[in-house]
Structure 1
């Protein structure tokens, strides 16, 4: 039986483990933390994510925890006016074959983790930080921080945007700091006034900032995320931030959006980072996936979706003799690289052109997007939401 090593036990790493185990591999997941957990709050899942989750055998479990959204709303954050809404109802589901949903991040992670624990071919190891790798023509060895070495037929670097596997393979330094700070809060839904509740992902676009919110946790909680283009140059992850500091960053926010923003509590802040697309994510028997391969800004809401797609596609190429693996990994890389590179670039462009324009550019955005029909809006996202062939 061929052996696969996976560096990183996040969403992408666990998805790879399930995909490979389904192809007959014995999989060892090497997680640097002392427990398999997932940090964060709300996450959006487009139809391409559900298509991948179904292939991994956990689609129904995620659906049971999800909130299925009726529409995506784009609002003018300073005037409270509706720019346009994209319906996610019957026509959308028929076109893309699956719904659009939002979940708490743990409601995606836990079904993947539970499935891995149920799968005999998957071994989950904590306290196993991969710092690099060694390989020859026949085997690869993951080198751990504690000095241990773990051997296998292939190694998947699913160790995130600060990937040690990528650092050795590509040597492109630290991630790029976007200059955008995001503040996140999750509050009980019963704190939200009835007239401000909706089964929608609502985005308020302002000059150099935006605010997005939606229900999660089966509708029991309300996810708030507000982002400022503040020129931040230092990467920050989950820093507790006082509510008065958050509110002070958005003086132009309109009355309705401002009311919702003021509901936030126990805010935490992140500074968003990504990397430039690269065409190659393989080195012999080693391949990158998810944020280790193609980290992207949040603006296309596709980071987790792309990680799930990539895991399923990687699983399909692993259905082979171990001796063919290096070429199969190259084939996987070059099948997906144009799509993920486009998603990375589109995410950046959406931040500039849809979420944060000011003045005349904002008026032009409102007119252009406001004029689109439902069919045209669905056409704009078709290349993303259909998923990888």
Structure 2
């Protein structure tokens, strides 16, 4: 049994997903304890794209204004050919976009969003954040779950939320589907001063975000931190450039050797000391049982191609808190209702992200068809993204809308 006075909700994982879930529950008046493996609560990584579906939720949680002062609001999202530099299509994200969806598209540093949510959690007085707690084992119990940490500590709870990421131990208890799927792609990520690109002509679109696409590769560039830094993400299919596989820097340069000068200039400035393999999982159900449920990557890890990993985790947090409010004192029923609402939505995002990755990285006739189909697209035609951006996260009514093309 839980000790008298213990918070009724326990969240495993103190990243954006876990803290946003804690904040959403705290906004409903619930006490929450968050266990974080690292010795302090912090976020690694660089840029983070935030669509209006997530902005809407951050606004509701009262943290949007704390994130946006240092954010960058691109005027457009542009797809360009990495080899020729030619524009393929654009999606305008200015006033017409805001009028359509209620919020602008923005990009921020991951640490800025994490810090804003962390401070909001602290200010509620209802969230206890405990660092240095590496969750090693989870036991289901009639009352909920017992969580065992590497330091020997143990926590008993009636409501456990697994926000412990791609290789979630909490998921292992509920789903038990083994290792995630390796896409074969890796991503090099980092920020550089905007001035570093000046001698190469600067950013092609300093007021927008550019995705340079080519066979088995792409490079994303956009400003962050008030436009002082440029965030770059270079992604390559390691199965195409195997001759340099033991040297990450050489493999990156080999992959982008045939691209246009703008792209090569950006890639030459990439930090190659670390890179991330890109994993996801096929959609499943069954990630809520008894007093345990999952949020974010623990429930539905997805590839990066729709920039929705964090956005879907933020949606999860709000819907979970709503279901808890709708079923007071009935944790199992609330968690089941949450999964029923979220599983169709997140499954579509997962599968569409996979498809969009194939579209971005196609070669030959596929690339020619992509260019031909998108050439005449109106930059303010938002029908293709309505399903993603203009949906209340607690509904699935629009899940039959068209797939996104840009």
TM normalised by structure 2 equals: 0.89
Alignment: residue pair count = 380
Check whether the contact 2:327–2:333 (CA below 8 A) recurs between aligned residues.
no
Give deviations 1:114-160, integer Å, cap 9, x for gaps.
Answer: 11122211000011122233344434322222332212220000000
CA distance in 2, matches of 1:242, 1:375: 39
Check whether the contact 2:56–2:103 (CA below 8 A) recurs between aligned residues.
yes
Specify the alignment match of 2:398 in structure 1. Answer: none
List aligned pairs for 1:100-111, cutoff 5 A: 100-111=105-116
Aligned residue among 390, 397, 402 for 1:386: 390
Specify the alignment match of 1:273 in structure 2. Answer: 279
- For structure 1, the 5+ residue unaligned runs are 233-239
Specify the alignment match of 1:64 in structure 2. Answer: 69
Matching of residue 345 in structure 1 with residue 341 in structure 2: no
CA distance in 2, matches of 1:34, 1:143: 17
Counterpart secondary structure, 2:40: coil
Matching of residue 358 in structure 1 with residue 363 in structure 2: yes
Check whether the contact 1:131–1:165 (CA below 8 A) recurs between aligned residues.
no
CA distance in 2, matches of 1:304, 1:320: 25
Give deviations 1:263-313, integer Å, cap 9, x for gaps.
Answer: 334552111001111022111000000000000000011000000011011
Give deviations 1:295-334, integer Å, cap 9, x for gaps.
Answer: 0000011000000011011111122566411011101101
Specify the alignment match of 2:255 in structure 1. Answer: 249
In structure 2, the CA distance between the partners of 1:83 and 1:323, relative to structure 1 (3 Å rule), is same
Specify the alignment match of 2:402 in structure 1. Answer: none
Matching of residue 36 in structure 1 with residue 41 in structure 2: yes
CA distance in 2, matches of 1:193, 1:32: 40
Q: RMSD value over aligned CA atoms? A: 1.9
Cα deviation for residue 162 of structure 1 reads 0.7
TM normalised by structure 1 equals: 0.93
Specify the alignment match of 1:236 in structure 2. Answer: none
Cα deviation for residue 231 of structure 1 reads 2.8
Counterpart secondary structure, 1:85: strand
Matching of residue 191 in structure 1 with residue 219 in structure 2: no
CA distance in 2, matches of 1:151, 1:340: 29
List aligned pairs for 1:1-150, cutoff 5 A: 3-150=8-155
In structure 2, the CA distance between the partners of 1:241 and 1:317, relative to structure 1 (3 Å rule), is farther
Give deviations 1:62-96, integer Å, cap 9, x for gaps.
Answer: 11121111100000111111111111011111000
Counterpart secondary structure, 1:196: coil
Check whether the contact 1:185–1:267 (CA below 8 A) recurs between aligned residues.
no
Give deviations 1:31-65, integer Å, cap 9, x for gaps.
Answer: 11111111111111110111111121101001112
CA distance in 2, matches of 1:320, 1:98: 27
CA distance in 2, matches of 1:262, 1:74: 21
CA distance in 1, matches of 2:32, 2:247: 39
CA distance in 1, matches of 2:305, 2:99: 25
Check whether the contact 1:26–1:121 (CA below 8 A) recurs between aligned residues.
yes
In structure 2, the CA distance between the partners of 1:321 and 1:362, relative to structure 1 (3 Å rule), is closer
Counterpart secondary structure, 1:6: strand
Give deviations 1:12-44, integer Å, cap 9, x for gaps.
Answer: 000000011111211000111111111111111
In structure 2, the CA distance between the partners of 1:279 and 1:227, relative to structure 1 (3 Å rule), is same
In structure 2, the CA distance between the partners of 1:320 and 1:381, relative to structure 1 (3 Å rule), is closer
CA distance in 2, matches of 1:181, 1:157: 26
Check whether the contact 1:241–1:269 (CA below 8 A) recurs between aligned residues.
no
